[in-house]
């Protein structure tokens, strides 16, 4: 968060992450003290996506601090799909492995849905397996995707009422757009999803009380169309020419018009990691019923 100065209009996630980290660190220390197995997560990374490297670096930093065990498997982007699936199935059958995380996006030569759905749904820490998304759509989730949980928590922390209001999601990805759509609908929101092919985007932006941008393109929002005192949740991660992280929204151009915005970095990102470690502990607890 070093390149983002404090602003009363910013919705920060860092404070909550630190709270969760310290809470779970105590639980891990307790497990070590009573000589119980420590949660183990497998991270699978394919290729050299710059944003993915940043995500993984931040996750590892958190795991090290807390004491959660992790192993990273890096594969070249041209890995054969059947080879990757074979590897995932091996992890599925390994009783010592509690969680499996596949860092997205995957290279275009791989079928993302096929790969994700190979994961044992009870080890699917991101909650993206069709079993978990199906339960989420019914309002009875086993594991809810981390970013979706992060967005809801940010809004709750800042006492932002979402029931019955108009929420616009920019981006229809399986990772963010579709899951958060289901979560919001379950909570009684009126939700619209637009994408790069949507016609007359300004019309939808004008009616939105909250905008969730998760498209991965910088400065995509037509500022003049944004409703006054609206709220923006920026989920985008982009690397600028100076190799610094920025979101989808140029917040400097819009601060005077809106009520709140989540900054990048420092907003949704830290909160997502908080819910990643909470999901790890939830899966671990469900697997080890005798552990509190």
First to last CA, the chain: 34
pLDDT score recorded for residue 2: 45
pLDDT at 51: 81
Range of the domain at 86: 37-123
pLDDT per residue as tens digits for the range 154-173? 999 999 999 989 999 999 88
| Contact in structure between 99 and 42 (CB atoms under 8 Å) | yes
Tell whether 94 and 164 lie within a shared domain. no
Q: What CATH number should be reported for the domain holding residue 60?
A: 3.40.50.10860
**Residue whose C-alpha is closest to residue 4's, from 234, 259, 273, 276:** 234
pTM of the model: 0.92
263 and 159 co-located in one domain: yes
Question: What is 58-109 written as a DSSP string?
Answer: HHHHHHHHHT-EEEEEEE-TT--HHHHHHHHHHHHH-TT--EEEEPSSPPTT
Structural domain tally of the chain? 2
Determine, yes or no, domain membership for 83.
Answer: yes
Do 98 and 187 fall into the same domain? no
Q: Is residue 240 part of a domain?
A: yes
Q: Residues 176-191: pLDDT tens digits?
A: 999 999 999 999 999 9
CB atoms within 10 A of CB 28: 20
Residue 26 is assigned to a structural domain of this protein: no
Q: Give burial (CB, 10 Å; 0-12/13-18/19+) of 72.
A: middle
Residue numbers of the chain with a pLDDT score lower than 50: 1-2
Question: Tokens for 150?
Answer: 């992060």
Query: Domain with 220 in it: what CATH number?
Result: 3.40.50.720
Tokens for 200, please give them: 């007359």
pLDDT digits (tens, 9 = 90+) for 240-262: 777 778 888 888 888 999 999 99
Q: Is residue 116 part of a domain?
A: yes
Has residue 104 been placed in a domain?
A: yes
Do 226 and 169 sit in the same domain of this protein?
A: yes
Would you call 132 exposed, middle or buried from its count of C-beta atoms within 10 A (0-12, 13-18, 19+)? buried
Same domain, 164 and 243: yes
pLDDT at 239: 78
CA distance 226 to 218: 16
Q: What is the pLDDT of residue 242?
A: 76
- Residue 3 covered by a domain: no
* Neighbour-count burial of 274, counting CB atoms closer than 10 A to its CB (0-12 exposed, 13-18 middle, 19+ buried): buried
Instruction: Please answer whether residues 221 and 204 qualify as being in contact, where contact means their C-beta atoms are separated by less than 8 angstroms.
Output: no
């Amino acid at each position: 968060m070093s390149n983002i100065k404090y602003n009363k209009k910013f919705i920060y996630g860092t404070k909550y992450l630190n709270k969760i980290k310290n809470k779970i660190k105590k639980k891990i220390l307790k497990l070590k003290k009573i000589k119980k197995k420590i949660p183990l997560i497998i991270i699978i990374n394919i290729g050299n996506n710059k944003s993915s490297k940043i995500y993984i670096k931040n996750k590892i930093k958190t795991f090290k601090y807390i004491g959660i065990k992790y192993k990273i498997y890096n594969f070249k982007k041209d890995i054969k799909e059947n080879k990757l699936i074979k590897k995932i199935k091996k992890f599925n059958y390994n009783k010592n492995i509690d969680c499996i995380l596949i860092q997205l996006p995957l290279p275009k030569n791989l079928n993302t849905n096929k790969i994700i759905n190979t994961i044992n749904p009870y080890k699917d820490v991101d909650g993206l397996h069709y079993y978990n998304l199906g339960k989420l759509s019914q309002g009875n989730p086993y594991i809810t995707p981390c970013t979706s949980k992060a967005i809801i928590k940010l809004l709750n922390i800042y006492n932002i009422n979402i029931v019955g209001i108009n929420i616009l999601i920019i981006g229809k990805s399986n990772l963010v757009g579709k899951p958060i759509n289901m979560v919001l609908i379950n909570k009684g929101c009126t939700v619209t999803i637009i994408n790069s092919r949507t016609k007359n985007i300004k019309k939808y932006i004008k009616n939105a009380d909250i905008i969730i941008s998760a498209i991965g393109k910088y400065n995509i929002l037509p500022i003049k169309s944004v409703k006054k005192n609206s709220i923006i949740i920026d989920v985008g991660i982009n690397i600028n020419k100076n190799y610094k992280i920025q979101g989808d929204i140029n917040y400097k151009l819009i601060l005077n018009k809106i009520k709140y915005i989540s900054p990048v970095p420092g907003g949704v990102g830290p909160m997502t990691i908080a819910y990643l470690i909470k999901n790890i502990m939830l899966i671990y607890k469900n697997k080890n019923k005798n552990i509190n």
